[in-house]
Structure 1
Amino acid sequence: MKLTLVLLVLLTGLPGLTVQAQEQEQGVARDAVLVYNPDFFAAASPTTAQDMVERLPGFQLDNGENVRGFAGAGGNVLIDGARPASKTDNVSSVLGRIQAGRVSHIELIRGGAPGIDMQGHIVVANVILSDEATRQQSLLARSYFFEGGPTLPSGRYEFSSSDNGTNWGFNIGRSLSINDSTGTGTLVRRDGSGQVTDIERRKNRFDGGGWSGRADWAAPVAAGRLEITGGASINDFEEWTQYIAPASQRRFDFAQQNRDADLGVRAEQNLSETMTLEARLIQNQRRIESVSSALIGTTLQKFNTESEAGESIVRSVLRWQPTDRIKVDSSAELAYNVLDTEQSFTVDGQNVPLPQSTTTVNELRTEIAAIATWQRSDILTLEAGARLERSRIRQSGSASAERSFFYPKPRLAMTWDFVENHQLRLRLERELGQLNFNDFAASSSLTNNEVLGGNLDLRPEQRWVSEAVLERRFSADAVLSLTLRHDEINHVVDVLPLDDGLTAIGNIGDGSLDRVELDLRLPLDRIGVSGGRLTLNARYDHARVDDPTTGRERQISDVRPFTGSANFEQDLPTWNLVWGLDYTPYTRDTTFNPDQRRDIELRHYLTAFGEYTFSDSFTARVEYTAWNDFRINRQSWSDRVLQTIAYSEQERVNPRNFIQMRLRKTF
């Protein structure tokens, strides 16, 4: 509490660091919008729109959630006021294909603005492109060099053309699949009394990559605009890990191939001076084949999976803006998803029956919504609305089931510039999680000695979210923000016990989450580091739920209690150079299972980088990543309720340092 009070004083006080009038040319406030022109980014010589967005003060790029449907999947970046036509082509990828020279300016919208669909975000960036006719080609070459191997090259060719509002382009290239946490190490196993029973040497390798391509076209049509995009990719990944002891050895292999294709169509039509209609059609397809195996002594376990998934979305949004200060967005969405999975688990060639090893799951989901935004004054914006979601899930195969859900999702939000350069953002909202179709089928993690059965009785996780963000802007490039958040969670999704010693993903009860997050971006010119910037982030999460096996309170799986990072960058325009450091001191992921607990700790992850601009069309970037180690601690219990320790493992891995090199040529 004392720390929070100190931060509030810092946010509302600090006289002498207020924004001066001569600094307002960049990041100038126009109602709820801060406008950044290309000159603001010039010292860094950005090559793409992504480079520019990532340098916006007080903004963190979010690609959106990987969920079914479109309403909850959008990121927090718009391009000319709209989200990309495709759902799977994320915002970072789209921005990375837009040349920096095509950007007219970027708007940082806080709380809402006329004609802007915030899509549930309180802050979004809107990249406005120039109408100037351009035609550009780019070659991108990238390679990863891991200490001790492998070496992974990739590259991409891009073409784009823009003329009088008609844009088209395509790209094709070699993609990568990497795992930066591989390396050598040791594993120490102890029995329940703490005595060492085994010491194993660990080593592993991985390889992966694939091919992808995409084409897009957009043009004015009648009194509106039409956009079409489509892409396809194929990716492979394989990895093996071996544990060697004087009298035994274990080997785990994993191989997976993904094939993906998508098509997206977006049409926008101006119905009148105050009304606009937007329609979207999205189709996604995915096929996955994977094999996991474990050779322990002479015993061979294999888990095979083949799955096909499809998604079809139809969505329309009617935007009505009767005045400059009031807008109402009404939307309707229909989404159909299907997952067909076949799995098998064998031990020395003998089949082991699993719950829901073969299953087909489909969902028909509808959502209607209405959101009204009222800019009460130049300093106060209010938002209110609700989404109504109804879904029907059917499952067939090893067993059959059908369930229907209906959930209202109200939302209230306020943005208040209560003092110059001070903004308070409040949000009260009911959020609905989505069921992962893969949890309806069996799954495995042989390395962790886990085989999960499918669950027919899953319900989506629901949250009442209360959030307050206090933001203090000291200058065009300096910002400090404090976030306080509380979630009341119903039907927490975690791992629960089944009969016969099996486990499955399921609902384990109600829980809560409390969050405190601090973000600081500070230019260092005043202390003599010309062109330097320091960015700090720290987040503390306290998430609690009652364990379904023991009944005791514990944290929720995979919620990190603390995350933090520090970033330093310096622009040296006279040398055509940008350099910097990214540092993550510590993270911990904890997974709870009725039969075990596993903690993964990451320590001292450091990346040093430098980017040199040879000319306006040729840049080179080098990154070197080194980190101390990561540790995997596991306790396995002989009794689920008493949690009597059968054995424990402490694994310490020395990850491979690696270098990434990137060359980009535009012509």
Structure 2
Amino acid sequence: MGLKILPAKFRTRLFYSTLLAGSMICPVMAAEDALVDAAIVSYEPVYFEKFSPVTLLDMLQRIPGVPEVLNNNRRGGNQRGFGGGGDQILIDGKRLAGKSNNINDALSRISADQVAKIELIRGATSGLDVQSQGLVINILLVEGGSKSSTFWKAMGEYTFGHKFLPQFLISHSGSAGNLGYTISAETKNDNGYRPRHEIFYDNNDVETGTRDVEHEFKFKGYKFTTNLNYAFENGSELRINGLYEPNGFDYHETRAEYGDDPDNVIWDQDRNNSRWEVGGDFSTDLGALGRFKTLFVVNRNSEDTEIDRTRDYIDPLFIYANEFTNEVNSEKILRSSTIITLWGEQSIELGGEAAITTFEKTFESYSRDIEADPLDLESLDNVDIKENRYEVFAIYNYNISPELLLQSSLTTEFSKIIADNIFQDGTFDRRDTAFTYFKPRVDLRYDYTDVDQIRGTIEKKVSQLRFDTFVTSYDAQNDQYSAGNTDLRPTQTWEFTLAYEHRLPNDTGSLEGKAYYHYRKDHQTRIDFTDYYDYDGNPVSVDEFFALPPDMALRDTIDFTPSQGNIDHAYIYGVDLKSNLRMGFVGVPEAVLSLGYRFEKRRSMDQFTQMMRNFSRHSNNVFNVNFRHDVTKWGFAYGFDVEAKSNWATYDINYYQPQSPAAAIKAFAEYNLKSGIKMRIDLLEITGKEGHTTTFRYVDHIRFDELNVREERENKRPRAVQISLQGNF
């Protein structure tokens, strides 16, 4: 009798049902110290004693669902001001006053004995420093603790085929009276390479050549941070933090071609940047006028890049092109508000935010055909931008009942952008634009049992403009210029979200599902900036041009130009499923398995083909698996993380580039050598692959559908090993 296999959808249901049933039947000893109510799960120090944590980050990694939030924080985001959404991390109910100064770095510098409690807050909650429809992690530190501690970390990374490079971090925390402080210094080193092999085919699918690319990079930097906090006798609190980070990058890339008409190229890039930031917040009680808080950030980032492109490996070897880029940007933000308690379970926060952003960038490109010629200026773009943005906001919280919370807000934004294109003779072309946006938000949280929660959110958002897209740049992957556009507008998005979460008994984990729909206006994508003409030189639209009879002579007079621009609309919809499960039902109560699946469609009109497509570089399906097992009796832990994405593609005026990404797999093992000292080994890029890319390059414009060449590219990502020692004293 043959073995019958259930269909995939039933196997998935059976798997989750088994996990759920097992978790409900088998209470987990490791979770007995977690304190649970309908919206908040609290973890006190006794919960973590068996894990012997060294830092606050060690503690957070033991809580189901939190490692995913930490990973998302590392990825960063396109944040506009200090509006909060999604998952958030707070310290004593307040966000870190900084944008460059990363919260994850601060978590790794706080010793475990400074933590009084960790709260996991799900959904909208009044009294916190953020609005969030996701998970809020609120870390409460020990009050009045006078103990000083020093955290140190020595780490090295070895990329296979390259040398081992050390890195060091030292951080000291202490207090003097009402003043608490943390200072830290870090050295960073990294190197590696990204090899790839390419095969070229002509439009008749005949192989014409191959190319081997070896991309090597070296990085060295330093990072200095400080955090100060002062508690006044009247209950007021002041916190200041600072960051200074100089970095240097060197890139060396060789492109060796074989076959028909080979072109061997060497690219060398030298890039140096430096950034600093100072941020802070102050809060005080105004009595009947409520609780006043203010927050500020001032930062500056500068970067210089020089690229030399050399042709041929043998004589005559000469630089045929070079590029120079200089960029300086800065930001100043001030946000103040007052929280007033109204009658009953109601409160309102009234305030405003002001932000001034400046951006200066110059791009110069020089080239020549033969060594005897001078390097002539080929492209010059110089942009000077200033944005002034002001917001007034009101946030209303109403605890309708112990189970039902309503949070609503209205933010009105006024912004003005002045963008100057400065020409070589000193003249300039100015864009002076003003925007006004109304950004409402409504959050509803309903705890219909102690372990079941429904959350709904409706919100309008406005994106932060990426000013570097205002300036011409060089696309190294496709060996072509990318024109800048100073007429870009922020993208406006209406977001509709409905989420359900179920917490399993005895803190054995949680199951969560979320469905959402986003409607975008002024969506940013690649668009056709070409000036089209007919046979008589009369301007015509793009559709009129492509309706003309094919004529190569006419096409030769057209400068086909793509750039980043705005289109009327786009939309996103999807479903996000997550589960975090302690493995007590299989006899491993100290192990946690996290599973995630996201299905998401991002659709817009391709401006070159007039077809509906996914956004560039977007995968419809993403799978995540995270596993961690703490063997506390041995002071040992191990685990792995897997992320797999479905195929995605990029599009432009003259190419279409689908890619099959490889799964990203990493693993770790760590061991507590003695009290306060831990050794850890991380294995990175275990597959050694990045994926396969096919590029279809077309003559002039993809709409002509005249294939010029097809490229098959195999991308590799060499394996690496990180070894670290860390401790406190």
TM-score by length of 1: 0.93
Structure 2: segments with no counterpart, 5+ residues:
1-7, 313-317, 369-374, 424-428, 531-558
* Maintained 8 Å contact 1:214/1:229: yes
- 1:138 matched to 2:138: no
Q: Please name the residue that 1:272 is paired with.
A: 287
* Equivalence map 1:36-47=2 (5 Å): 36-47=43-54
Deviations 1:481-535 (A, max 9, x none): 1111111111111111222222211113311111111111111122123411111
From 182, 185, 188, the counterpart of 2:199: 188
Q: Please name the residue that 1:666 is paired with.
A: 728
From 567, 577, 599, the counterpart of 1:540: 599
> Structure 1 stretch 59-68 or stretch 196-205: which is displaced more?
59-68
> Structure 1 stretch 116-125 or stretch 306-315: which is displaced more?
116-125
Q: Please name the residue that 2:697 is paired with.
A: 636
- 1:375 matched to 2:374: no
Q: What is the rounded CA distance, in whole Å, between the counterparts of 1:15 and 1:252 in structure 2?
A: 58
- 1:159 matched to 2:190: no
- 1:305 matched to 2:364: no
TM-score by length of 2: 0.86
* Maintained 8 Å contact 1:252/1:446: no
Q: What is the rounded CA distance, in whole Å, between the counterparts of 1:426 and 1:10 in structure 2?
A: 25
- 1:156 alignment partner AA: L
Q: What is the rounded CA distance, in whole Å, between the counterparts of 1:199 and 1:409 in structure 2?
A: 53
Q: Please name the residue that 2:542 is paired with.
A: none
Q: Please name the residue that 2:348 is paired with.
A: 328
* Equivalence map 1:521-560=2 (5 Å): 521-560=580-619
- 2:511 alignment partner AA: L
Q: What is the rounded CA distance, in whole Å, between the counterparts of 1:16 and 1:146 in structure 2?
A: 41
Change (3 A) 1:20 1:659: closer
Q: Please name the residue that 1:651 is paired with.
A: 713
- 1:487 alignment partner AA: H
* Maintained 8 Å contact 2:95/2:130: no
- 1:147 alignment partner AA: F
- 1:632 alignment partner AA: T
* Maintained 8 Å contact 2:23/2:583: no
How far apart are 1:207 and its partner, in Å? 0.7
Change (3 A) 1:423 1:123: same
Q: Secondary structure at the match of 1:512?
A: strand
- 1:34 alignment partner AA: V
How far apart are 1:73 and its partner, in Å? 9.1
* Equivalence map 1:339-418=2 (5 Å): 339-348=359-368, 349-354=375-380, 357-396=381-420, 397-398=422-423, 399-418=429-448
* Pairwise CA RMSD: 2.7
> Structure 1 stretch 297-306 or stretch 382-391: which is displaced more?
297-306
Q: What is the rounded CA distance, in whole Å, between the counterparts of 2:310 and 2:200 in structure 1?
A: 18
How far apart are 1:14 and its partner, in Å? 5.6
Q: Secondary structure at the match of 2:46?
A: helix
How far apart are 1:384 and its partner, in Å? 1.1
Structure 1: segments with no counterpart, 5+ residues:
none
* Maintained 8 Å contact 2:254/2:265: yes
How many pairs align? 662
Q: Please name the residue that 2:454 is paired with.
A: 424
Q: Secondary structure at the match of 1:134?
A: coil
How far apart are 1:301 and its partner, in Å? 2.8
> Structure 1 stretch 242-251 or stretch 147-156: which is displaced more?
242-251
Q: Work out which of the two has the higher radius of gyration on C-alpha atoms and give 1 or 2.
A: 2
* Equivalence map 1:556-595=2 (5 Å): 556-586=615-645, 588-595=647-654
> Structure 1 stretch 75-84 or stretch 286-295: which is displaced more?
286-295
* Equivalence map 1:188-207=2 (5 Å): 188-207=199-218
Q: What is the rounded CA distance, in whole Å, between the counterparts of 2:34 and 2:130 in structure 1?
A: 20
Q: What is the rounded CA distance, in whole Å, between the counterparts of 1:623 and 1:30 in structure 2?
A: 36
- 1:79 matched to 2:97: no
Q: What is the rounded CA distance, in whole Å, between the counterparts of 2:626 and 2:632 in structure 1?
A: 19
* Maintained 8 Å contact 1:111/1:381: no
From 479, 482, 491, the counterpart of 2:510: 479
Q: What is the rounded CA distance, in whole Å, between the counterparts of 1:33 and 1:509 in structure 2?
A: 41
* Maintained 8 Å contact 1:509/1:545: no
- 1:351 alignment partner AA: L
Deviations 1:258-277 (A, max 9, x none): 10011112111111267111
Q: What is the rounded CA distance, in whole Å, between the counterparts of 2:583 and 2:450 in structure 1?
A: 23
* Maintained 8 Å contact 1:114/1:324: no
Q: What is the rounded CA distance, in whole Å, between the counterparts of 2:90 and 2:84 in structure 1?
A: 15
- 2:657 alignment partner AA: R
Change (3 A) 1:164 1:235: same
How far apart are 1:74 and its partner, in Å? 9.7
- 2:322 alignment partner AA: K
Change (3 A) 1:592 1:604: same
* Maintained 8 Å contact 2:28/2:508: no
Q: Please name the residue that 2:357 is paired with.
A: 337
Change (3 A) 1:361 1:310: same
Q: What is the rounded CA distance, in whole Å, between the counterparts of 1:389 and 1:533 in structure 2?
A: 43
* Maintained 8 Å contact 2:26/2:585: no
Q: What is the rounded CA distance, in whole Å, between the counterparts of 1:643 and 1:368 in structure 2?
A: 51
How far apart are 1:145 and its partner, in Å? 0.3
> Structure 1 stretch 234-243 or stretch 244-253: which is displaced more?
244-253
Q: What is the rounded CA distance, in whole Å, between the counterparts of 1:534 and 1:120 in structure 2?
A: 25
Change (3 A) 1:43 1:605: farther
> Structure 1 stretch 559-568 or stretch 652-661: which is displaced more?
559-568
From 30, 33, 41, the counterpart of 2:40: 33
Deviations 1:324-363 (A, max 9, x none): 7322222200100001111101222221135xx1010000
Change (3 A) 1:610 1:414: same
Q: Please name the residue that 1:453 is paired with.
A: 483
* Maintained 8 Å contact 1:242/1:251: yes
Q: Please name the residue that 1:111 is paired with.
A: 123
Change (3 A) 1:186 1:353: closer
Deviations 1:399-449 (A, max 9, x none): 211111111111111111223411111111111111111111111112322
Deviations 1:133-182 (A, max 9, x none): 21011221111100001433211111101466531121112024566xx3
- 1:56 alignment partner AA: I
How far apart are 1:31 and its partner, in Å? 4.6
From 266, 269, 279, the counterpart of 1:254: 269
